[in-house]
């Protein structure tokens, strides 16, 4: 069974690119486009192996979601990658994430990063 990667991104095209790269290295992918829906999922379901988190989301910001996850021990083993077009936001929250990707993000950048993070086969 493959590990789950959760994409929290409101840009559908970008989410599809992320999903393609993650599936390409063996992840099962779930996508959520709304911060409030993501918040409910993060609070009530099993944490995924990896989260790709946009910092600018409708209804609940990625920053708020990141802070919540960092305060929840269930997420201590989840790899969190934040994505933002705002380099200052990347600087502000970068120490709370495992990786920061500054938009625009190329498919090659994402593919190379996800290849390094691919789930280990037992």
Q: Where are the alpha helices (DSSP H) in 25-80?
A: 35-44, 62-70
Supply the CATH number for residue 70's domain.
Answer: 3.40.50.2300
Asked if the structure places residue 122 within a domain, the reply is no
Asked if the structure places residue 98 within a domain, the reply is yes
Q: What are the tens digits of pLDDT across the range 14-27?
A: 999 999 989 988 99
Q: If you average pLDDT over residues 41-68, what whole number do you get?
A: 97
Percent of the chain with pLDDT over 70: 96
Ramachandran region, residue 6 (left: φ > 0; alpha: ψ -120 to 50; beta: rest): beta
Counted domains in the chain: 1
Phi then psi for residue 55, to 5 deg, are -85, -20
Q: How confident is the model at residue 42 (pLDDT cuts 50, 70, 90)?
A: very high
Asked if the structure places residue 70 within a domain, the reply is yes
Range of the domain at 63: 4-117
Asked if the structure places residue 54 within a domain, the reply is yes
Note the pLDDT of residue 90: 80
pTM for this structure?
0.92
Secondary structure of residue 77 in the 3-state scheme: coil
Q: How confident is the model at residue 1 (pLDDT cuts 50, 70, 90)?
A: low
């Amino acid at each position: 069974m493959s590990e789950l990667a959760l994409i929290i991104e409101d840009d559908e095209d970008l989410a599809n690119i992320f999903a393609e790269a993650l599936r390409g290295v063996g992840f099962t992918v779930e996508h959520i486009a709304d911060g409030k829906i993501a918040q409910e999922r993060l609070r009530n379901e099993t944490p995924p192996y990896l989260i790709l988190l946009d910092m600018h989301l409708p209804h609940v910001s990625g920053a708020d979601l990141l802070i919540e996850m960092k305060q929840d021990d269930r997420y201590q083993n989840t790899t969190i990658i934040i994505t933002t077009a705002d380099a200052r936001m990347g600087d502000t929250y970068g120490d709370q994430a495992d990786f920061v990707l500054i938009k625009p993000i190329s498919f090659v950048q994402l593919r190379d990063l996800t290849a390094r993070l691919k789930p280990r086969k037992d």
